[in-house]
Structure 1
Amino acid sequence: MALPLPLLGLLSLSLFLIPTTSATSGIRLGIIRKPFSPIDPPVFREAPAFRNGRVCGSQPMDRIHIAMTLDANYLRGTMAAVFSILQHSTCPENFEFHFLWVRYEPDVLASIKSTFPYLHFNVFRFDSNRVRGKISKSIRQALDQPLNYARIYLADILPPHVKRIIYLDSDLVVVDDIGKLWEVDLEGKVLAAPEYCHANFTKYFTNLFWSDRNLSSTFDGRKPCYFNTGVMVVDIEKWRQGGYTQKVEEWMAVQKQRRIYHLGSLPPFLLVLGGNIKAVDHRWNQHGLGGDNLEGKCRSLHPGPISLLHWSGKGKPWLRLDSRKPCVVDHLWAPYDLYRSSTHSLE
């Protein structure tokens, strides 16, 4: 019998207890048989058990920590992401997943347990009140959800034994051993991510921002480049010591008063860390596959090797596949879809 996990972070002890593993005694959990809706998550097939290779250690130092948000609307994407990570990993038993949600959703929790009976995971509550008054309306409603801002508070929510984390969005799949990304040398930086210096950095901020030297001077002495916050390696200790949560919040307060950007939680990250991160290979975030944030039109793959496919933007592969109007790249996501009613993988 798995021991109950002490609820850490912002979770009330009176709310519920969650085991660190979904099954350790060989007992298979029952399947939740409910149709999909925002409040009734879909039924998923059980994933196979993945075992460590001979080179894998079994000490706490060998643990790889992954953080993701969790809610019913994106659960299908989360399942595919987790499945892809485990399938391509050399040491799948060394993963410890840290899921962040806004509220206790028993069906969502049951779906994870029944789909991944051997998964080591914790679930923490993110208190949406922390950002409720700080969020400014953006160009897409999904970007305004409080859970979209949870990545800012990882250092406050995660337990002390987590020193480093890979943060991942739910609309991606990994097609390489993510242990390679975990081992990146941060070289003293607080964050590592692929940088895209060819992108027009100015478009992420309004004319008001660039015309006000008190604001735009924040980039003086830096050569800021765009990076996507859906794939990040974060030194949690350095983040905490440097007070980066407060720094991001300060820019969110400016945005609330003066409207200096248009896109959710991304721009304040750029304001604080743009030009001061450890750049990793672009193969670790083939982003933008969901199209732009307004129409979500189809996009093709960027040239070069690929380790991670990311459907950032409005279009999500599971919705386009179900509508029978998929983009070509959506068929690269389909093999990782564990939703029981899916037929696209057979077509």
Structure 2
Amino acid sequence: MRSQWLTLGLGFLILGSVWLTSTQIRTLGAGCAGDRGPAQAPVEELSDVSRSRTVHLCICSDDPDFRPAVVAIRSAVSSSPQSHRFVFHFVTTQELSTRFLNVAKLQLPGIRVEVHADEELQLAIQSRILFRKGAGRKVLASPFNFAPFYLPHFLLASSQTFHAQTERLIYFDADIVILGDLAQLFDMDMQGKVCAAVPYCHQRLKTYINFDVLHSLGHEGIDPDSCIANRGLLLIDVPVWSAMKITESIENWLDVYRASDVDLWVGGMSQPPWLLAMNGNYTRLSDDWNCNSLGRHSMIPAEAAVLRNLGFEDTHLQELHVEPVANGLNPYVVLCSSTGRILHYNGAMKPWLLDSDTISVPVCTLPESLMQYNFQWVKELQIREATYKFVTCSEIWALFMSDDMLYSEPRNGTETSEEKAKREDAKEWANRLKFVKEKKKKEREIAQEQQQKAKEKKLAGDFVTGQTVVATHDISVRGKIAVKKGWEGVVQGPSLNHPQERLNVLFKERRDKKTLSINVLPFEVRHPKDADD
């Protein structure tokens, strides 16, 4: 079944006007949505009107690597028997918009996709963003990290399907795999709230917000101990969002952040102002709509304690290539993936960025809907009364994407000149990605080889860089004893001024309390194990 994705013929798409056929839905969904049994989204029995409503699904990204978006879209289609209702909106830069259109034609045949770019709006968003070190990674300062708050503005300007009367849309991050039916989510009762999201109570609002600063600025009525909500998946009621001026409120918080001399929030850029603007006014989705941390390299002590309480011991963790460390566990162990409907690869260890030889990667319990697929690495553990079957989280993602899928051979041995040109373009892109990957690997190998040669290069007295040594006698600097006999140091390399005659040594301590290294003659130091004269 896995080979369906690897051999899928790449057809053509007239963007904005072609829908999936029922045959295509069955083909894409085989072994996924159809085998899971009744869906469990909190929705009422659907009317004919609900069943016919267009489901607007939005991704915002300025990443030139489109593989995450392609995987998210493919997995959404394969997991829903109602995917004929889907329209995907990809919000990106003007420069990348044409490229994504071409990729969509090749990678997403039969799926309705619209691409939106608004340079003026993009610049307006950028003008409100101030990056500070406490916010975390610089990439979070991208205007497309804030674009979800402006989706109606992007879509109304260029969409053929989204209109001023459109009531709902779903936003999701590109770094996800979708195993639930987004059409059911779209049709749920939102209880008059602005949006629906998944609460995440491992972190509280005070994790992000500096409440001392908040109160000093005169803002009260916000509970520091309230659970945060994860913005990786949002169902938005457009009229309510507009009526409550959520976008304007987010902009106001951004202005407050810019004007404050002290960081109002830390550990994020777009999440904190959105949490403050919402202030808990959202419909709670069940946890399975955001099984997260599939890209994280570590578990904090509180998260590791959950595993320990379930009976996971060091021997179990070793079998998963997970290492206990002082501040938790490395890398992340994901348990929610067996029943998760959204698998969120938040964190630095994105599957499409990992090297093929990376051993220590996040591991996931095997999703129930993917049991029939063959995985390269599977580990089954019996812990107390429970059985856990683990795979690498990255391989789940890879089910819906591979480099081979960036191009395909013509079906039935025939193709038009236009088809051939597009296939060759996709093939060139695939080869370019492989070339970049191989180039980076080669550069790493060269750097490692050079480092090894530098270490092995003999210095004066046959010492080598990085070698631990001890002083053979008291060493003086400008007439004063700086290092006592027997004190340890590490060879940093040759002396800059006299590389053939002297060594540069950084001693662990100096009597004069300075931390500078010292240039010494070879006889002034020795290996710690060498006998004293």
Question: TM-score higher than 0.5 here?
Answer: yes
Contact 1:64 1:179 in 2 (8 A): yes
For structure 1, the residue ranges without an aligned partner over 5 or more in a row are: 1-17, 27-47, 343-347
* Deviation of the 1:199 alpha carbon: 2.2
Q: Distance in 2 between matches of 1:274 and 1:131?
A: 22
1:76-225 to structure 2, matched below 5 A, reads: 76-105=67-96, 106-126=98-118, 127-137=121-131, 138-159=135-156, 160-206=164-210, 208-210=212-214, 212=216, 214-215=218-219, 217-219=220-222, 224-225=226-227
Query: Which stretch shows the higher mean deviation, 73-82 or 119-128?
Result: 119-128
Does residue 19 (structure 1) correspond to residue 15 (structure 2)? The answer is yes
Paired position in structure 2 for 1:30: none
Relative to structure 1, the CA distance from residue 110 to residue 323 in structure 2 (aligned partners, 3 Å threshold; closer, same or farther) is farther
Q: Which of 333, 339, 342 is the aligned partner of 2:397? A: 333
Structure scoring higher RCO (CA < 8 A, sep ≥ 6) equals 1
- SS of 2:110 mapped into structure 1: coil
- SS of 2:206 mapped into structure 1: helix
Q: Distance in 2 between matches of 1:305 and 1:60?
A: 25
Find the structure with the greater CA-based Rg: 2
Q: Which of 248, 251, 269 is the aligned partner of 2:250? A: 248
Contact 2:19 2:111 in 1 (8 A): no
Relative to structure 1, the CA distance from residue 75 to residue 260 in structure 2 (aligned partners, 3 Å threshold; closer, same or farther) is same
Paired position in structure 2 for 1:285: 290
Relative to structure 1, the CA distance from residue 275 to residue 312 in structure 2 (aligned partners, 3 Å threshold; closer, same or farther) is same
Relative to structure 1, the CA distance from residue 198 to residue 319 in structure 2 (aligned partners, 3 Å threshold; closer, same or farther) is closer
Q: Distance in 1 between matches of 2:47 and 2:192?
A: 26
CA RMSD of aligned residues (A): 3.2
Question: Residues 259-291 of structure 1: CA distance to partner in whole angstroms, max 9, x if unpaired?
Answer: 211211100110011321100100000112222
Relative to structure 1, the CA distance from residue 223 to residue 98 in structure 2 (aligned partners, 3 Å threshold; closer, same or farther) is same
Contact 2:20 2:111 in 1 (8 A): no
Relative to structure 1, the CA distance from residue 200 to residue 279 in structure 2 (aligned partners, 3 Å threshold; closer, same or farther) is same
Q: Distance in 2 between matches of 1:119 and 1:341?
A: 16
Residue type at the aligned position of 1:264: M
Residue type at the aligned position of 1:167: Y
Relative to structure 1, the CA distance from residue 49 to residue 161 in structure 2 (aligned partners, 3 Å threshold; closer, same or farther) is farther
- SS of 2:126 mapped into structure 1: coil
- SS of 2:150 mapped into structure 1: helix
Query: Which stretch shows the higher mean deviation, 331-340 or 58-67?
Result: 58-67
Question: Residues 50-69 of structure 1: CA distance to partner in whole angstroms, max 9, x if unpaired?
Answer: 2599x997999432110111
* Deviation of the 1:203 alpha carbon: 1.2
* Deviation of the 1:331 alpha carbon: 1.9
Does residue 49 (structure 1) correspond to residue 113 (structure 2)? The answer is no
Residue type at the aligned position of 2:396: L
Question: Residues 55-89 of structure 1: CA distance to partner in whole angstroms, max 9, x if unpaired?
Answer: 99799943211011144434110000001001111
* Deviation of the 1:19 alpha carbon: 3.4
Question: Residues 191-215 of structure 1: CA distance to partner in whole angstroms, max 9, x if unpaired?
Answer: 1011123423211123643552613
Does residue 315 (structure 1) correspond to residue 320 (structure 2)? The answer is no
Richer in helix (by share): 2
Q: Which of 237, 240, 257 is the aligned partner of 2:239? A: 237
TM-score (norm 2): 0.51
Query: Which stretch shows the higher mean deviation, 67-76 or 142-151?
Result: 67-76
Residue type at the aligned position of 1:245: T
Q: Distance in 1 between matches of 2:20 and 2:108?
A: 14
Contact 1:193 1:227 in 2 (8 A): yes
Q: Distance in 2 between matches of 1:339 and 1:322?
A: 13
* Deviation of the 1:237 alpha carbon: 1.2
Paired position in structure 2 for 1:31: none
> How many residues get paired?
299
For structure 2, the residue ranges without an aligned partner over 5 or more in a row are: 1-13, 30-45, 157-163, 299-328, 363-391, 407-533
Q: Distance in 2 between matches of 1:56 and 1:81?
A: 28
* Deviation of the 1:224 alpha carbon: 3.3
Relative to structure 1, the CA distance from residue 139 to residue 282 in structure 2 (aligned partners, 3 Å threshold; closer, same or farther) is same
Residue type at the aligned position of 1:255: Y
Contact 2:19 2:84 in 1 (8 A): no
Relative to structure 1, the CA distance from residue 162 to residue 339 in structure 2 (aligned partners, 3 Å threshold; closer, same or farther) is farther
Residue type at the aligned position of 1:69: C
Relative to structure 1, the CA distance from residue 134 to residue 186 in structure 2 (aligned partners, 3 Å threshold; closer, same or farther) is same
Contact 1:321 1:330 in 2 (8 A): no
Identity %: 25
Q: Distance in 2 between matches of 1:69 and 1:319?
A: 19
* Deviation of the 1:102 alpha carbon: 2.0
Relative to structure 1, the CA distance from residue 292 to residue 129 in structure 2 (aligned partners, 3 Å threshold; closer, same or farther) is farther
* Deviation of the 1:255 alpha carbon: 1.0
Relative to structure 1, the CA distance from residue 266 to residue 104 in structure 2 (aligned partners, 3 Å threshold; closer, same or farther) is same
Question: Residues 239-259 of structure 1: CA distance to partner in whole angstroms, max 9, x if unpaired?
Answer: 112211110000011111222
Query: Which stretch shows the higher mean deviation, 199-208 or 81-90?
Result: 199-208
* Deviation of the 1:305 alpha carbon: 2.8
* Deviation of the 1:92 alpha carbon: 1.4
Residue type at the aligned position of 1:100: V
